Amino acid sequence: MSTHPLPTKPKQTPAVNESAVQKIDIALPPDAVREIVTHTQDDDERMWMPRGDNVWTRPLMFNVVQGSWVNLTRAKGEAIVSRHRHPAPVTGYTLEGSWGYLEHEWTAKAGTFIFEPAGETHTLVVRPDEGHMLVLFHNFGPLLHVDADGTVVGYEDVFTRLAKVRAHFRKVGLGDAFVDEMIR
Ligand code: FE
């Protein structure tokens, strides 16, 4: 009987095929716009625009062609975002804490993904159980602020949001160039 161990395959790190990497570069359409790369772990407080009592937003991307935008929403303590309707969908991914809507039973925790179809109308609440939240939201279109009867009392679209963001970043000294980098 043989006592030789079974042959094992040598562990190898696959070599990077440099010509394939180059081909990917070359394959980019010439009219494609530049990517946006944002490292939010390096943020300081100036990046966070106040959006109400205990609520802040950290803009990440504005699509002025399709009217959509992406942002982080952060709340600390007890917080509320007044009732509004979304005529276009929204997606949200919870990074930290817990939160929900007055109009729904569920509570989102870290790792909870939500898809809000067009027509969704809600009031965002952060309750004291965890006492904070951090959520990545993608707004596919404007939102309408509504009163208790559902009557529209105001609206926000990519342009009104951009105007507020510009005012904020001018005020904190980061300026318009910082905002321009988020627009495609
Ligand atoms: Fe909403």
107: domain CATH number is 2.60.120.10
pTM for the predicted model, two decimal places: 0.85
Question: Is 51 part of any domain?
Answer: yes
- Output the CA 76–ligand 1 centroid distance in Å: 17
> What is the model's pLDDT at position 1?
47
Task: Let me know if residue 154 belongs to a domain.
Answer: yes
Q: Which ranges of the chain would DSSP assign to H, the alpha helix?
A: 18-27, 158-171, 175-180
Q: What is the pLDDT of residue 8?
A: 62
- What range defines the domain where residue 109 resides? 46-180
pLDDT in tens, 4-56: 666 666 666 667 776 666 665 667 888 999 999 999 988 999 999 999 899 99
Closest CA to 110 of 132, 125, 95: 95
Q: Is residue 139 part of a domain?
A: yes
Cα(86) to centroid of ligand 1, in Å? 7
Task: Count Cβ atoms within 10 A of the Cβ of residue 58 and give its class: 0-12 exposed, 13-18 middle, 19 or more buried.
Answer: middle
Q: Is residue 130 part of a domain?
A: yes
Q: Rounded to the nearest whole angstrom, what is the distance from the C-alpha of residue 42 to the centroid of ligand 1?
A: 27
Q: Specify the number of domains making up the chain.
A: 1
The answer to the question of residue 11 being in a domain is no
In a domain, 19, yes or no: no
Nearest to 126 by CA among 104, 107, 103, 143: 107
Cα(24) to centroid(ligand 1), Å: 38
Cα separation, 76 vs 54, in Å, equals: 5
Q: How many angstroms does the Cα of residue 73 sit away from the middle of ligand 1? A: 11
Question: 138-158, pLDDT tens digit by residue?
Answer: 999 999 999 989 899 999 999
- The DSSP call for residue 182 is T
